[in-house]
C-alpha cells in the first residue's frame, strides 16, 4: 500500500514540476532535435518534419483504401451531386460532373502522392525543391489557412450530427432553453452539441498518423453500412427510389454546357487541398506502387457516395414531400421509436464521418505545416491541438456558417491558388528534376535549393501567370454584383487553367533558365536511396531484411544486390 502511495505521490510531483516548467519557461517547450537529421547545426527539425523513419512507414494498399474512404465519405460528398441536380441539371449530368471531376483530380493526387511515397518527406519540405527554401513558406501558409478554415466548418457540421445522436435518446434535448444572446450566433443547445462533438473528436486528433489505420478502417465500414441502410430504408418507405430519375434539365444549349463545365471544375477544386499536400500521408507508405490506387479510389468512392445521396434525396421527396439533400437534415426527420433508433446509428455515422475528414484532410495537414514553420516548438501533436483550438473555437465556426456567405465563397475559391501549387510540385518532380531530388539538401538553407535568396523566381512567375486570369472570377465569387464579362467563362474551369498554365510556364522557364546545381544525377539519387535502406536495416535480422527487400517496390533490385554484396 505504501509503495503504491509513494509511486502516486512521485508521479504527481513529476506532473507538478513539468507544469511549473511549462508555465514559467519557454525552454521547457523546446522539442528534441534529431541526431540523425540532415539539417545543419542551427537549423532545427523534429521527427515529424524529418524524413519519415522506416518504423513509421507502415501504410500498405488497404491503409490507402481506408484513408480515402475516410476522407471521401462525408456529408459534403453525399450532398455534392444532389446539389447539382437542385440547380436544374439531371442526375446523368450530375454523375458526369462527379466522375470527370474526380478523375481529373486523381492525376495530381497520383503525381504528388508519389513524391511522399518515394522521398518520405511531408509536403512542406517537398515544396522547397520547386519554390525555394524560404519562398516555400508561402504555399505552406496558404494550405495551412485553408485547412484551418475547413476544420472549423467540418467541426460545426459534426456538431449538427451530434445533436441528432443526443435527441434520438432524449427528444427533450431539442427544447433546451436558450440562455445566450442573439449576438452570439448560436443557441445553448447548439453550443452543448458543439462542445460534446469537439470533446469526442479531440483525442482522435492526437493519434499519430502512422497509427490511424484502425480508425480509417472503422470509419470506412461503419459509414458505408450506414449510408446503404439509409438509402434502403428510405426506398422501402417510399415504395421505390422516387422521381428524380425522370427530371428534365432546366437549361439547354451553351448555358447547359457551361454549367456542366463549372460544376465539374468545382468538384475538382473541392479536392484541391488534398492534391496539394497528399505527400503528408503517402510519406507513411511502405511501397510507392500503391500510390496508383488513388486513380481508382477517388472516382470510385466519390461516385458511390454521390449515388447514395441522389437516391436518398429522390426518395425523401416521396416520404417527406420535399427534396432533402443534407444527410444530417434527413436524419433529423427520423422519428418514432424505430426512427429514433435509426437516427442514433446514422447520427453516430455522420459524426464519425466528419471526424474522419477532419483527421485525414485538415488537422494532420495543418499540423504538418505548423511543424515546418516552427519545428523547434511544434510537432504534429502540438500542431493538432493548436489547429483544433483555433478552428473550433477562436474562428467561431457558427458565425462563419450563418452569416459569412462571401467568406465561404472566397475560401471555396482558394482552389485557384492551390491548383498552381500542386502543378508546380508535380512538374518540378516529374519533369524538371526527372524524379531525382536531393533530400538532404531540402533541409539546408544554403543547399542546392536556395536558388536566389531562398526563392525560385520560375515558380513565382508561373504562380502569377496562373493566378492572373482567375482573379476576376475569384472577386465575383465573393461579390456577385461585380461584372467581369468573358472572364467568367475562364473561371468556369479555374482548376484546369490554374494547373495546366502553371505547369507549362514553370517547365518552360526551367528549360530556358536552368539551374544545373539544383539537379542531381541518377547515381547520386541511388546513393541516397541505398543509404536510407541500410539505415532501415540497423538492428534487423537477416529474415526481416529479406522481407523488407521484397516489399519496397522501386528499390527492390538495388536492395537485393546490396544484400548479396
Q: Kindly report the pTM of this predicted structure.
A: 0.88
According to the 3-state scheme, what is the secondary structure of 282-308?
HCCECCHHHHHHHHHHHHHHHHHHHHH
Q: What is the DSSP letter of 439?
A: G
Q: Which domain holds residue 550?
A: 524-564
pLDDT at position 535: 63
Query: What gap in Å lies between CA 459 and CA 505, rounded to an integer?
Result: 9
Residue 454 resides in a domain: yes
Half-sphere exposure of 38 (CA within 13 A, CB side): 20
The pLDDT value given to residue 557: 37
Verify that 480 and 467 share a domain, yes or no: yes
pLDDT of residue 267: 87
Q: What is the pLDDT of residue 59?
A: 92
Tens digit of pLDDT for each residue in 146-164? 999 899 999 999 999 999 9
Into how many domains does the chain fold?
A: 2
Tens-place pLDDT, residues 344-361: 999 999 999 999 999 988
pLDDT digits (tens, 9 = 90+) for 259-283: 888 889 888 988 999 999 999 999 9
Clarify whether residues 503 and 539 are in a common domain: no
Torsion from C-alpha of 272, 273, 275, 281, nearest 10 degrees: -160
Question: Buried b / exposed e across 177-190, counting CB within 10 Å, b at 16+?
Answer: eeeeeeeebbbebb
Chosen domain end from 504, 520, 536: 520
pLDDT band at 243 (very low <50, low <70, confident <90, very high): confident
With respect to residue 449, please indicate whether it lies within any of the assigned structural domains.
yes
User: DSSP for 534-551?
Assistant: HHHTTT--HHHHHHHHTT
Residue 5 has pLDDT above 80, yes or no: no
Q: Are residues 409 and 554 in the same domain?
A: no
Residue 227 belongs to some domain of the structure: yes
Strands (E), 9-71: none
pLDDT of 215 over the 80 cut: yes
Q: Please indicate, yes or no, whether residues 215 and 309 belong to a single structural domain of this protein.
A: yes
N-to-C CA span, the chain: 59
- Residues 481, 404 contacting (CB under 8 angstroms): no
Answer yes or no: is 149 within a domain.
yes
Given a contact cutoff of 8 angstroms between Cβ atoms, the answer to whether 436 and 520 are in contact is yes
Per-residue model confidence as pLDDT tens digits over 51-90: 998 888 999 999 999 999 989 999 989 988 888 887 888 8
Per-residue pLDDT, 23: 60
Q: Which range, of 229-233, 401-405, 522-526, averages the lowest pLDDT?
A: 401-405
DSSP state of 183: G
pLDDT in tens, 83-123: 888 788 888 899 999 999 999 999 999 999 999 999 999 99
Does residue 510 sit in the same domain as residue 538? no
DSSP assignment of 62-92: HHHHHHHHHHH-SHHHHHHHHHHHHHT--HH
Q: Is residue 29 part of a domain?
A: no
Residues 460 and 529 grouped into a single domain: no
Residues 102, 90 within the same domain: yes
Q: Which residues partner with 451 through β-bridges?
A: 455
Answer yes or no: is 242 within a domain.
yes
What's the pLDDT score for residue 265? 87
User: What would you report as the CA-atom Rg of the chain, rounded to the nearest whole angstrom?
Assistant: 25
User: What is the average pLDDT score of the chain?
Assistant: 86
298: pLDDT confidence band, cut at 50, 70 and 90? very high
Positive or negative torsion for Cα 183, 184, 186, 190: negative
More confident of the two residues 482 and 343:
343
In this structure, the answer to whether residues 511 and 530 fall within a common structural domain is no
Per-residue pLDDT tens over the stretch 395-410: 999 987 765 455 556 6
Q: Kindly state whether residue 33 falls inside one of the protein's structural domains.
A: no
Percent of the chain scoring above 90 in pLDDT: 57
Q: 531 and 500: one domain? A: no
In terms of Cα–Cα distance, which of 468, 466, 487 is closest to 476?
Answer: 487
pLDDT single digits (tens) 171-203: 999 999 999 998 888 999 999 999 999 999 999
pLDDT at 488: 78
The whole-number average pLDDT for the span 302-325 is 91
Q: From its phi and psi, is residue 436 left (phi > 0), alpha (psi between -120 and 50) or beta?
A: beta
Together in a domain, 207 and 314: yes
Residues 126 and 230 in one domain: yes
Same domain, 222 and 94: yes
Of 177-181, 212-216, 389-393, 488-492, the poorest mean pLDDT is in: 488-492
Which among 488, 503, 520 is the end of a domain? 520
In a domain, 39, yes or no: no
Q: How many CB atoms lie within 10 A of CB 285?
A: 26
* Predicted local confidence at residue 564, as pLDDT: 34
Buried b (16+ CB within 10 A) or exposed e, 462-474: bbebbbebbebbb
Amino acid at each position: 500500500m505504501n509503495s503504491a502511495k509513494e509511486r502516486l505521490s512521485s508521479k504527481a510531483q513529476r506532473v507538478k514540476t513539468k507544469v511549473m516548467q511549462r508555465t514559467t519557461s519557454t525552454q521547457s517547450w523546446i522539442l528534441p532535435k534529431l541526431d540523425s537529421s540532415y539539417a545543419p547545426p542551427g537549423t532545427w527539425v523534429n521527427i515529424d518534419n524529418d524524413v519519415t523513419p522506416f518504423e513509421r512507414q507502415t501504410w500498405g494498399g488497404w491503409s490507402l483504401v481506408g484513408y480515402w474512404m475516410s476522407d471521401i465519405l462525408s456529408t459534403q460528398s453525399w450532398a455534392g451531386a444532389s446539389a447539382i441536380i437542385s440547380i436544374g441539371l439531371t442526375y446523368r449530368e450530375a454523375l458526369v460532373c462527379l466522375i470527370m471531376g474526380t478523375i481529373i483530380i486523381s492525376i495530381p493526387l497520383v503525381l504528388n502522392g508519389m513524391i511522399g511515397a518515394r522521398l518520405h518527406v511531408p509536403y512542406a519540405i517537398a515544396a522547397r525543391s520547386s519554390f525555394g527554401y524560404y519562398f516555400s513558406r508561402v504555399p505552406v501558409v496558404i494550405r495551412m489557412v485553408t485547412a484551418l478554415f475547413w476544420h472549423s466548418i467540418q467541426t460545426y457540421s459534426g456538431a449538427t450530427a451530434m445533436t441528432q445522436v443526443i435527441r434520438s435518446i432524449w427528444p427533450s434535448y431539442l427544447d433546451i432553453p436558450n440562455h445566450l444572446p442573439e449576438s452570439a450566433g448560436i443557441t445553448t443547445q447548439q453550443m452543448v452539441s458543439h462542445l460534446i462533438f469537439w470533446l469526442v473528436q479531440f483525442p482522435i486528433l492526437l493519434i499519430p498518423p502512422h497509427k490511424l489505420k484502425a480508425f480509417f478502417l472503422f470509419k470506412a465500414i461503419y459509414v458505408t453500412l450506414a449510408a446503404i441502410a439509409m438509402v434502403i430504408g428510405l426506398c422501402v418507405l417510399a415504395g421505390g427510389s422516387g422521381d428524380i430519375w425522370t427530371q428534365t434539365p432546366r437549361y439547354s444549349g451553351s448555358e447547359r454546357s457551361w454549367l456542366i463545365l463549372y460544376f465539374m471544375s468545382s468538384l475538382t477544386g473541392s479536392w484541391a487541398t488534398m492534391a496539394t499536400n497528399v505527400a503528408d500521408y503517402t510519406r507513411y507508405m511502405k511501397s510507392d506502387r500503391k500510390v496508383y490506387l488513388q486513380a481508382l479510389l477517388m472516382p470510385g468512392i466519390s461516385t458511390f457516395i454521390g449515388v447514395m445521396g441522389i437516391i436518398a434525396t429522390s426518395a425523401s421527396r416521396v416520404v417527406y414531400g420535399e427534396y432533402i439533400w443534407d444527410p444530417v437534415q434527413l436524419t433529423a426527420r427520423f422519428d418514432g421509436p424505430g426512427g429514433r433508433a435509426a437516427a442514433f446509428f446514422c447520427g453516430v455515422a455522420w459524426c464519425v464521418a466528419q471526424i474522419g475528414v477532419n483527421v485525414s484532410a485538415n488537422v494532420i495537414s495543418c499540423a504538418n505545416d505548423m511543424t515546418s514553420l516552427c519545428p523547434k516548438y511544434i510537432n504534429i501533436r502540438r500542431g493538432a491541438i493548436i489547429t483544433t483550438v483555433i478552428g473550433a473555437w477562436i474562428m467561431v465556426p457558427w458565425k462563419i456558417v450563418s452569416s459569412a456567405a462571401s467568406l465561404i465563397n472566397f475560401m471555396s475559391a482558394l482552389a485557384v491558388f492551390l491548383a498552381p501549387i500542386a502543378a508546380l510540385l508535380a512538374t518540378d518532380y516529374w519533369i524538371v528534376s526527372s524524379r531525382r531530388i536531393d533530400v538532404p539538401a531540402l533541409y539546408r538553407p544554403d543547399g542546392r535549393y536556395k536558388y536566389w535568396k531562398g526563392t525560385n523566381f520560375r515558380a513565382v512567375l508561373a504562380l502569377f501567370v496562373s493566378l492572373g486570369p482567375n482573379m476576376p472570377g475569384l472577386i465575383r465569387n465573393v461579390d456577385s454584383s461585380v461584372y467581369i464579362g468573358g472572364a467568367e467563362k475562364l473561371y468556369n474551369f479555374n482548376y484546369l487553367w490554374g494547373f495546366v498554365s502553371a505547369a507549362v510556364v514553370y517547365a518552360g522557364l526551367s528549360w530556358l533558365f536552368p539551374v544545373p546545381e539544383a539537379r542531381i544525377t541518377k547515381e547520386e539519387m541511388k546513393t541516397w536511396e541505398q543509404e536510407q535502406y541500410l539505415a532501415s536495416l540497423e538492428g534487423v535480422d537477416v529474415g526481416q531484411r529479406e522481407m523488407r527487400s521484397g516489399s519496397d517496390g522501386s528499390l527492390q533490385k538495388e536492395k537485393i544486390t546490396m544484400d548479396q554484396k
